[in-house]
Structure 1
């Protein structure tokens, strides 16, 4: 059996579900795309090829092997994009919360059934129907749970709005001993540079007390300043709109000292190394064309 344990974003990783790019299906039609960046690449004829994405995910798997992390992969479904496991579930403490996601992604959750069978049934939480939530919007951080949300009255108009105010309420009720801090994210169905699909598209804690942050991802300036103040200006790596678009905040921590990053993120990778991080650089730029990167394609189950 698996003893789930996730208290934060960076403690030493022991067990993870890494998505798969195998049999991810044909290039979607424009109306099938879930986000503006995918749409952009469909229109430009630069949508990523399966073989390239498989290579990128294999490179990620090799890094996990190097650090002796137990890796589960989803059962491969024919013609189904299963790269972004962070969207289908997430772990807080010793509970796995099933994401309430776009209905046609339900089968992705079924594809990790063999992993779920290793978890006590009473540790798996199924939120009620009205709760919309995805793992990219949820970050446990010690006594806090940081959450990205969108609570505008036009919520239903945005396919890019994935976590609603009912979700924030639900997580606060489920983990009453935690401080749930929600952040309103900027949404756009059509402009990827003005769209924070999830909280991890504009913010992520790293190390023990540092963070990557993009100001324009937050609808309310004071919420951005709250984070800047919480971590301290000199502990924050600020990214610009172009870097946010390249998914620079969506790296992944194997431990407080080891960060997996895209090899083209030179500015970030240098900054991390100056602060004595070990940076494991891999190619992941093709996957980023679907508005997701390293954190998005992982579902951490156990950290020390």
Structure 2
């Protein structure tokens, strides 16, 4: 059996689900795309090729191997994008919580049967239908659970709005001893530079007490200030609109002192190293065209 244990984003990772780019399917039609960045690349003819994405995701697998991490991969579904493992489920403490995702992504969860069969069935949680929540919006920081949401009255019109207040309240009810804080995220169906698809598109803790943040990803400045107060201004690396677009805040921590980051993130990687964090650089620019990066492709199961 798997003894699930995840309480934050940065403790030493021992077991993880890593998505796959095998049999990723054809370039989607514009009306089938989930986010403005994918649409931008479909229109421009620059949508990523499967062979390039395969190389990128296998570079991450190699880093996990180097650090002796147990890696699970989803069962391959023909012609299906299974890169973003974080969307479909997530672990808090010892609970495996299924995301209520867009209906046509249900099969991706079925492809994790090998993992789920090793988890105590009592620890697998299926939220009620009214609850929308995705792993990219759920960020753990020890006694805190940060959750990205969208409070606009036009929630149902936004395919980019992935976690609702019912989702926030559901997590509150499951973890009454934790401080659950929601953040109202900026959404755009048409401009990827103004769209925080998930919380990890505009914020993520790194190291012991640091974080990467994009101020304009939050619709309410008080949400941003909450994190500044909590982490301290000097501990936060502020990213620009273009850096947010390139997914700078979507790195993945192997441990408090080791981070997997995209090789082109020069400014961020320099800052990480200046804070005594080892940076394992990988190419991930093609996968990022689908508005997801390293955190989106991984689902931690066990951290120390």
TM category, shorter: over 0.9
Find the aligned partners of 2:51 and 2:89 in 1 and give their Cα distance.
26
What does residue 68 of structure 1 align with? 68
Find the aligned partners of 2:260 and 2:225 in 1 and give their Cα distance.
27
What does residue 131 of structure 1 align with? 131
What does residue 229 of structure 2 align with? 229
Mapping for residues 69-218 of structure 1, pairs under 5 Å: 69-218=69-218
Aligned residues: 304
Find the aligned partners of 1:185 and 1:141 in 2 and give their Cα distance.
19
Find the aligned partners of 2:58 and 2:8 in 1 and give their Cα distance.
25
- Cα offset, 1:302, TM superposition: 0.1
- Cα offset, 1:73, TM superposition: 0.4
Moved segments of 4+, more than 6 Å: none
- Cα offset, 1:50, TM superposition: 0.1
What does residue 27 of structure 2 align with? 27
In the superposition, the TM-score normalised over structure 2's length comes to: 1.00
- Cα offset, 1:151, TM superposition: 1.7
State the superposition RMSD in angstroms. Answer: 0.4
Secondary structure class of the residue paired with 1:181: strand
Q: Which sections of structure 2, spanning at least 5 residues, go unmatched?
A: none
Find the aligned partners of 1:271 and 1:208 in 2 and give their Cα distance.
15
- Cα offset, 1:168, TM superposition: 0.5
- Cα offset, 1:294, TM superposition: 0.1
- Cα offset, 1:288, TM superposition: 0.1
1:167-209: CA deviations, max 9, x gaps?
Answer: 0000000111111000000000111001000000000000010
What does residue 42 of structure 1 align with? 42
Find the aligned partners of 1:292 and 1:104 in 2 and give their Cα distance.
18
Residue 284 (str. 1) matches residue 284 (str. 2): yes
Find the aligned partners of 2:3 and 2:42 in 1 and give their Cα distance.
41
Find the aligned partners of 2:151 and 2:124 in 1 and give their Cα distance.
26
Secondary structure class of the residue paired with 1:216: helix
Secondary structure class of the residue paired with 1:295: coil
1:222-279: CA deviations, max 9, x gaps?
Answer: 1101101111111100000000000000000000000000000000000010111000
- Cα offset, 1:48, TM superposition: 0.1
1:52-78: CA deviations, max 9, x gaps?
Answer: 000000000000000000000000100
Q: Which sections of structure 1, spanning at least 5 residues, go unmatched?
A: none
